[in-house]
């Protein structure tokens, strides 16, 4: 049995923590939302507090670089509470340079660091079937293995130092964010031609124009259900990171920039906490269309 800490028990982190519980690990978690901690405790986990035993693994599933730094190395950070030789598994989408900086801080404390962004959504997180894009030393992978086995169906080993995992996640997020926006644009364009959202989904999901994001997010629009599995607010952050990396590389990314504009418009409309499929509402309102569930 391994003691595992979790910082962040949101839609992804809670599922990952529960997957570690099912694997027989002793899990202690923190989240600013008490209900999320209560869900972990109800499943057999524990609230992380100053009396919690020392852990071998700490998993950070927070929103961004600032939260990652605070969760790992802040005044109450997890790094100071790990056993010597323990490993920090960092899952937020961050710039590669930031991941390398965190690895250096961990090394200075005698700890390992695994740059380990995640993909798969809340359903796969709850099932322990995520894809993890990981980079770090062989010792970091070995120390993290008990948690990786519990949380992931696939772990891509992308290099022996931090940064490569975050670079691959940026590529993934470019595609994922663009695909959701493109799906929303195509569906609402279809509506202007008399194609209903359910007909769009039934046909295009079986044609060359489909994508994983189309098949996963279009049903939310058809059902008129924007319960957040991944919020609109995620995309200004993630696509902003992609564009920051692209600028540093001298690389133009006009399609990414266009998609980012649609998510920013959705957030400005007050849709930031809705499921990211709600970006379709930007197109619908501009065209005077009513989506399923709307009057």
Q: Which of 251, 288, 253 is closest to 177 using CA atoms?
A: 253
Scanning the structure block, which residue is given the tokens 């130092």?
Answer: 161
Scanning the structure block, which residue is given the tokens 């049903």?
Answer: 219
Q: Which of 124, 169, 237, 281 is catalytic?
A: 169
Beta-strand relationship, 130-134 and 152-157: parallel
| Cβ atoms 232, 275 nearer than 8 A | yes
Q: Is 8 left (phi over 0), alpha (psi -120 to 50) or beta?
A: left
Q: How far apart are CA 167 and CA 95, in angstroms?
A: 7
Q: How far apart are CA 101 and CA 140, in angstroms?
A: 15
Q: Which residues of the chain form beta strands (DSSP E)?
A: 3-7, 26-30, 46-47, 55-60, 82-90, 112-115, 118-119, 130-134, 152-157
Active site residue 169: yes
Q: How far apart are CA 179 and CA 174, in angstroms?
A: 8
Catalytic residue list: 169
């Amino acid at each position: 049995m391994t003691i595992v800490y979790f910082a962040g028990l949101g839609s992804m982190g809670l599922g990952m923590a529960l997957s570690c519980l099912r694997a027989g690990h002793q899990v202690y978690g923190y989240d600013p939302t008490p209900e999320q901690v209560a869900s972990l405790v109800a499943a057999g986990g524990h609230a992380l507090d100053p009396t919690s035993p020392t852990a071998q693994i700490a998993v950070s599933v927070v929103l961004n670089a600032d939260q990652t730094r605070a969760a790992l190395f802040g005044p109450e950070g997890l790094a100071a509470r790990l056993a010597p030789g323990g490993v920090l598994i960092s899952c937020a989408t961050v710039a590669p340079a930031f991941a390398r900086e965190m690895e250096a801080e961990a090394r200075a404390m005698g700890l390992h660091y695994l740059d380990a962004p995640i993909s798969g959504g809340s359903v796969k997180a709850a099932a322990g079937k995520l894809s993890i894009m990981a980079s770090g030393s062989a010792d970091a992978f070995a120390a993290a293995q008990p948690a990786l086995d519990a949380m992931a169906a696939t772990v891509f080993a992308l290099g022996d130092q931090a940064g490569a995992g975050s670079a691959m996640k940026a590529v993934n997020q470019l595609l994922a964010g663009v695909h959701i926006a493109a799906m929303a644009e195509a569906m609402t364009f279809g509506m202007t031609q008399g194609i209903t959202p359910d007909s769009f989904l039934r046909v295009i999901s079986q044609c060359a124009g489909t994508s994983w994001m189309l098949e996963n997010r279009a049903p939310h629009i058809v059902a008129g259900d924007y319960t957040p599995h991944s919020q609109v607010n995620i995309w200004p952050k993630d696509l902003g990171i992609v564009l920051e990396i692209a600028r540093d590389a001298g690389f133009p990314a006009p399609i990414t920039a266009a998609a980012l504009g649609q998510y920013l418009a959705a957030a400005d409309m007050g849709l930031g906490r809705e499921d990211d499929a709600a970006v379709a509402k930007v197109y619908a309102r501009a065209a005077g269309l009513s989506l399923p569930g709307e009057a």
